Amino acid sequence: MIRTQIQLSKEQATLLKKISREKHISIAEIIRRSLDPLIKNEISHMKEKRRKAQKAAGKFRSGLKDLSTRHDDYLSEAFIR
């Protein structure tokens, strides 16, 4: 385990202490259990975004023959406009 420090609002701390007493588990364990679904959801979301990006790759045409070698130049020009 890695030790970390977080700041909670007074209300959050009070409610966590109450849950901790009622469930007989530490506040740290409550936080770890709460984070697991969040992390799993975020990883799933990132994988879905990557899948969509890979699916879209190659579906569009720029009409530029040298896009793969000059992409940075074209991107810079686009931002200047």
| Domain of 31, in residue numbers | 7-56
Please check whether residue 74 is in contact with residue 67, taking contact to mean a CB–CB distance below 8 angstroms. yes
The number of distinct structural domains making up the chain is: 1
Q: Is residue 61 part of a domain?
A: no
For residue 58, which of 45, 68, 49 has the smallest C-alpha distance? 68
pLDDT digits (tens, 9 = 90+) for 12-60: 999 999 999 999 999 999 999 999 999 999 999 999 999 998 888 878 8
Half-sphere exposure in the Cβ direction for 72 (13 Å, CA): 1
Q: Is residue 68 part of a domain?
A: no
* Residue 80, pLDDT score: 87
Q: Is residue 38 part of a domain?
A: yes
- Predicted structure pTM score: 0.59
